[in-house]
Structure 1
C-alpha cells in the first residue's frame, strides 16, 4: 500500500494509475483535514464487493467454512470431468 499526497498524484497520475492496475497496488491519497481517499483497480474493487456479498450471507459463509475445514482435514475426493456433447 502506498500513500501519496494529492499534488504528487495529480502530477504523476498515469504512473500511479499504472501501479494500481498493473501491480495491484492500493494507494491512499492523503488530503487536508484527514479526508483521505483510497484508489484501487476496478478488478480489485469488484473482487472486494463479491467477497462482501458471498461472506455477508451466513449460509454461504457457513458452507465455505465447512468446505475449508473438510479440505484441511483431508476429507476430499477427486472426480473426473465428463465432456459435454456438442449438441448440448
Structure 2
C-alpha cells in the first residue's frame, strides 16, 4: 500500500510516520512542490526483502530454480519432509 504525504507534514510527524512505515509495511511517498524532489520511504526489512528479490530475479540460475519450484508446487509434485534429521 502506498500512502502520500506532503514533506512539511512528514517532517512535523517524522517519528509517527517512521513507526507506521515499519509496523504496517507501508511505502510512503513524500511529496514536495517540485516533483523531482519526491522520495519514497520504506522500512529496512521491506527494503532488504525487495533487494533480495531483485538479486534472485537478476540471477538466471536462481530465477529458474524458483520457477521450477513453483511449477512443481502447482502440479502437485511436492513431498513433505523434516528440516533436520536425527532430532
Structures share fold, TM-score greater than 0.5: yes
Query: Matched residue of 1:77: which SS?
Result: coil
Unpaired runs of at least 5, structure 1: none
- Please point out which of 58, 75, 78 is paired with 2:77: 75
The one-character-per-residue Cα deviations of 1:33-75 (angstroms, maximum 9, x if unpaired) are 2121000001111111111111110111111101100111101
Q: Which SS does the other structure have where 1:76 is aligned?
A: coil
RMSD: 1.2
Larger Rg: 1
TM-score of the pair, normalised by structure 2: 0.89
Q: CA deviation at 1:8?
A: 0.3
**What SS class does the counterpart of residue 80 from structure 2 fall into?**
coil
Distance of 1:34 and 1:83 partners within structure 2:
59
Which residue number in structure 2 is paired with residue 16 of structure 1?
17
Distance 1:83 1:20 in 2: 42
TM-score (ref. length: structure 1)? 0.88
Q: Which residue of 1 aligns with 2:51?
A: 49
Gap regions ≥5 residues in structure 2? none
